[in-house]
Amino acid sequence: MKRRRGLPPSAVLFAVLFAAQASILVLSPILAQVGADFGVATSIAAQLRSVSGVTAGIAALVVAVTGGRFRLSSLLPTGLLLAAGSMGSALAPTFAVLVAAQSVIGLGLAMVLSGGLAASESWAADGESARVLSWALIGQPVAWIVGQPVVGWVAGTDWRWAWVAVPFVSSLVALAVVAVRDRSAGDEGRGCDPVGLWRQPGVKPWAIGELLGFSAWGGTLVYAGAFFVETYGASVGLTGLILGAGAAAYLPGNFVGRRWLQRGPAAPLVVFALGGGAVVVVLTVADAGTAFSAVVFGVLAFLAAGRTIAGAALGLRVSGGRRLAAMSVRTAMLQFGYLAGSVLGGVALSRWGFAGMGWAFGALFAAAAVAPAFTGSLRDRAAAGLLRRHRRTGSP
């Protein structure tokens, strides 16, 4: 009797990254409520994301170094114990306990994001890696689209229910989906070479670019909810709808970025990052009303999506086959980026308001656009151009 296959990799990884993003998105629209409940400032409450970020970043680096001991089929279910951190956040009696619960979420994020993006290539059929990667990454904006309105709705009763309704439930679903995945593609994960990864041309500038780009976008997401609440007086429910609707623009950005990848990922990284830098400044400086700012936030999400898929594809390309190590490094850069974005955004917000914060994030986006110029593809292209010029003109 022929063995029945389970769910395809694209569906499994969609659910996995949905759960990962669900554990991140909850905080933004409920920052003010959390701060008021525990008697801390909004800028202090926002550092909860820094806690999960630094924990996830350190754990991801550990995975990158020791990844040869893991198989993806065991790494993902372990990481999806984010459910424990979500329930701990919902039940936290003090701010200190909430901090500890966010650390547990950080550990889960490291394993889920590292393993999930590595699996997008390891589990994909020949020629299907870009499509599987795209659908995996789509799980994150769909979590925003579905999750933010739910968070806004349940947080109207109590912010604690938001942790149960979105990340806890989605983590349980993802655990079930991973258990019934199609195993015909094998299960790569062991045998990665983190030392060899750093020796690959272009890996270091790629990693720096990811850190800068995620600092800008992650910081924007952390403070977006507070921006709409404090600048325009939007309710928590309306803010959830705005963030969820804005995340819908992430979907076409993902597909446009995927199509552009056929010509190479470096150029899209530059264009999307520069565009994001300009748009985040408009978002925070224009002060043209809730509706206009909601549209601008959608444009920013579109550009961030293109930069995200291009960055992941470039990392897989320059990794020299060391997928788990590369995606663990990317996860670390993402999480440290959230940390840097939260801290820098908090400093800029306290000193210069939301406008100053926007200029800071714009500068980070611009810096992220510069880094890919030092990766192998663009560097080699520039060298080839200089060689052709030398042969044609004889000039140095």
Q: Catalogue all structural domains in the chain, each as residue range(s) with its CATH number.
A: 10-181+189-393 (1.20.1250.20)
| pLDDT confidence band for 44 (50 / 70 / 90) | confident
Residue type (1 letter), 74: S
Question: How much of the chain, in percent, has pLDDT values that exceed 70?
Answer: 85
pLDDT of residue 193: 59
DSSP letter assigned to residue 363:
H
Q: Which of 13, 65, 57, 59 is nearest to 322 (CA)?
A: 65
Is pLDDT above 50 for 115?
A: yes
- For residue 165, pLDDT beyond 50: yes
pLDDT in tens, 356-383: 999 999 999 999 988 766 655 444 444 4
State how far the Cα of 349 lies from the Cα of 343, in Å rounded to an integer.
10
How many CB atoms are located within 10 Å of the residue 288 CB? 12
The answer to whether residues 327 and 118 touch, using CB atoms and an 8 Å cutoff, is yes
Q: Could you tell me which of 229, 231, 224 has the C-alpha nearest to residue 245?
A: 224
Query: What does the pLDDT read at residue 192?
Result: 55
**What is the C-alpha to C-alpha distance for residues 26 and 151, in angstroms, rounded to an integer?**
7
Query: Is the pLDDT confidence value at 295 over 60?
Result: yes
- Residue 371: the pLDDT is 74
User: Residue 276: what pLDDT?
Assistant: 93
pLDDT band at 26 (very low <50, low <70, confident <90, very high): confident
Nearest-angstrom CA–CA distance, 383 and 372: 15
Distance CA 12, CA 63 (A): 21
Condensed to tens digits (0 to 9), the pLDDT of residues 241-252 reads 787 777 778 888
Does 120 have pLDDT greater than 80? no
**pLDDT the model gives residue 379:** 46
Average pLDDT, the chain: 80
The pLDDT of residue 81 is above 70: yes
Higher pLDDT, residue 248 or 273: 273
Q: Select, from the ranges 165-179, 184-198, 249-263, 377-391, the one with the highest average predicted confidence (pLDDT).
A: 165-179
Percent of the chain with pLDDT over 90: 16
